[in-house]
Structure 1
Amino acid sequence: MLPPKWHAILCVCEHLGARDLSAVARTCREWRSLSLEPGFWSRLDLRGLASAERALGLLSTPKFSQTTSIAIQFCDALLDAHLALFPPTLREIVLDACHRITDAGVETVAARCRQLRKLSLYWNNHVSDKGVLKVALFCRHLVELSLSGCHRVTSNGILCVAAHCKHLHALDITRLPLVSDTAVSAIAQSCAGMRELRLYASSQYTSAPIVDVATHCPQLRLLDCTGHNRLTDDALRALALGCPSLTSLNLSWATKLTDAGVVAIARACRDLRLLSVHGVLGITDVSIRALGEHVRGLEALDVRGCTAAASREPDKLREIIPSVRVFVVHT
Structure 2
Amino acid sequence: MIHNFNPGPAALPPDVIARAQAELADYHGCGMSVLEISHRSKEYEAINAAAEANLKALLGLGDDYRVLFMQGGASMQFALIPLNLLPAGATAEYIVTGTWGEKAYEEAQRVGAVRLLASTAADGYRSLPSIDAITPDPQAAYLHLTTNETIQGVQWPAELPDLGSVPLVADMSSDFLSRPFPAQRFALIYAGAQKNLGPAGVTVVVIRQDMIERGRKDLPVIMRYATFAKNNSLYNTPPVFAVYMVNLVLEWIKDQGGLAAMAERNARKAALVYAAIDGSDGFYSGHAVPAARSLMNVTFRLPTPELEKQFLNEAQAAGMVGLAGHRSVGGIRASLYNAVAPESAAALADFMQDFAKRHG
TM over 0.5: no
**Rg bigger for which structure?**
1
Highest RCO, 1 vs 2 (Cα 8 Å, sep ≥ 6): 2
Normalized per residue, which structure has more strand?
Answer: 2
Which band: TM-score by shorter chain?
under 0.3
Normalized per residue, which structure has more helix?
Answer: 2
